Structure 1
Amino acid sequence: MTDELELLRDADPVSAETGPWRDRPLDARAELLLRRLGLQRRRRTVRLRLLAIEAVAAAAVLALALTVPGGGAPAATAADLVAAPRPLVAHASRADVPLAEIARRARAAAKETPGKSVMGSHVQSWSMGMEPGKDTVTTPVESLTRWNADGSGSRLEVATDPRYPGRPVIDDSTPPRTVHDGKVLRRENYPKGTYGANQDYFEAPPTGVAELRSYLAAWLPGADKDPASLLSAVQSFQSVWTLGPRQIADIATLLSRVEGMRPAGRVTDRLGREGQGFRLSAESGGRYLVVLDPDDGRLLDLELTATRAEPEYRLKAGDVLFYTAWRG
């Protein structure tokens, strides 16, 4: 809280000398300062998350090495537990479904079964630990977040065995429990009335493509203009919400309108599901692979790989920087 207050004081979008501000819109300077404030907060949040991942990863590696049983399976080595995942491989064929057609199918499915988005998610993710002069030391993490009607909720994060990347380690029961030798990294319970107010995208998403784009841009400025920012916003958004058919269709339609999104071919994603892949090269470097269910438009997997080497971080072109796979 102290850090957030310091950011607000530094930004000071409306100072005491500007007079009453309630009856008029913010001027250009105030808007710019507020936009910068949002970006500073997100950068700080992302950095803290990366530090947290790096901190628990080393412990998780050791814990996995100690807890993965024999059971006839080969013993886990340090290399097994810290190895970076290989990028997904797409295979183009005549059976590929264009992104525009996937979006059309998603809209048709939403008309037949509108449904609603539900706050909470079931996600498997991995990100590279970027520290100069050190090798990657991270493990895949599966997380399950659930919210109840009274605003109470829970979050469970479990390190997975990298030798079996698609195998679930959380059983979505009541209450959720770990399976397949998962090592618990974080378990939290939230009291009544919380309703996810301590996280981004806590407000219910709108329906409609333009409305959803504005909603995403409100949390991540630039998501309404920059394709890479849009993908980043979608990734964060779907880590908070399990989407209903209408929002699935809106996301698929948004992606179908992204300039530079190119078909990649059929892909077997991180969880063993068949999907249709599309690639996007970011101006700042890196190449995204977006994997969609060709039948209903659901986002299955999002992956970012490096397009150039970064010797300082022992990063090679083609290395995976992060991926997120949605189970919900």
Structure 2
Amino acid sequence: MARPKLLPDNFTLCLIGTVIFASLLPVHGQAAKAFNWVTDIAVGLLFFLHGAKLSREAIIAGATHWRLHIVVLLSTFALFPILGLVLKPLLSPLVTPALYAGILFLCTLPSTVQSSIAFTSIAKGNVPAAVCSASASSLLGIFITPALVSLIVTSQAASGGSPWHTVWNIVLQLLVPFVAGQLLRPMIGGWIERNRAVLKLVDQGSILLVVYAAFSEAVNEGLWHQIPLAALGGLLVVCAVLLALALLVTMIVSKRLGFSRADQITIIFCGSKKSLASGVPMAKVIFATHAVGAVVLPLMLFHQIQLMVCAALAQRWGARDTSAEKRAAKKGATAAVARR
């Protein structure tokens, strides 16, 4: 039986299970240090495989659509941080300061890659442009995200190191493996394409490892005593408001700028989403260990909301375009018969 469309997917259920497991049986002491070492290796492997998978040909094919890419990047790295700061007086009372720091961190993250492309395809948008925009966002986020975090995220959640130290850690742990994967793509790219299940396993497995380590440390520091149940409900409202505004602004702006319908769809899906796959490893590098759990909690919730909402939108728009194509084909066939 097919899974109902609005229910969490298997990976989201695994994330929830990991948080519960870490809450009941957190790792600590020397085991926690060893676990953090393992997660560092897993994150490096994740970005290495992403570098090996990324097709330069696909990026070049969509790179000429520069107006679209600028709008997507501005939405990702300017609109979201502005919304997070402007709405802070209104939304921050709904959550704890640590959770709102997580919201601001969420606002600095790059767009997703896989789901942005998938939803653009389902909705019959410009897929090559989506590949280019989402990939560029992910790569630029390695540099832009830590810079934005140093500017807008409250110091209580940050690691306390200098911005240059944070950038160096990002480069060493994320960019270097990514570049190594790109350089080795001619040799291993074919194997990666044939074994996508391996990449998916490393992708999801590394995130689950980081989430378990982060929540273990947070639980040991008293996370669930610091976050009341009402704040979790407030967090749901904050994430929903952010996503709704991002979708609305990208819809209006892309239409006002005269983009085609296919390009509008690409801008909406690439410009309104945030990457869990990039965000969790980045949080581990940027923030103090005890703060990572509270910081990634908003991202995990936003991730599920964006998947549910964007899946519904993509299916609706795709079905509407399919119906329009069928009507146009039927009208054309009727006209052809009439001319005979």
Give the structure-1-normalised TM-score: 0.30
By relative contact order (CA 8 Å, sep 6+), the higher-ranking structure is 2
Pick the structure with more helix per residue: 2
Pick the structure with more strand per residue: 1
Give the structure-2-normalised TM-score: 0.30
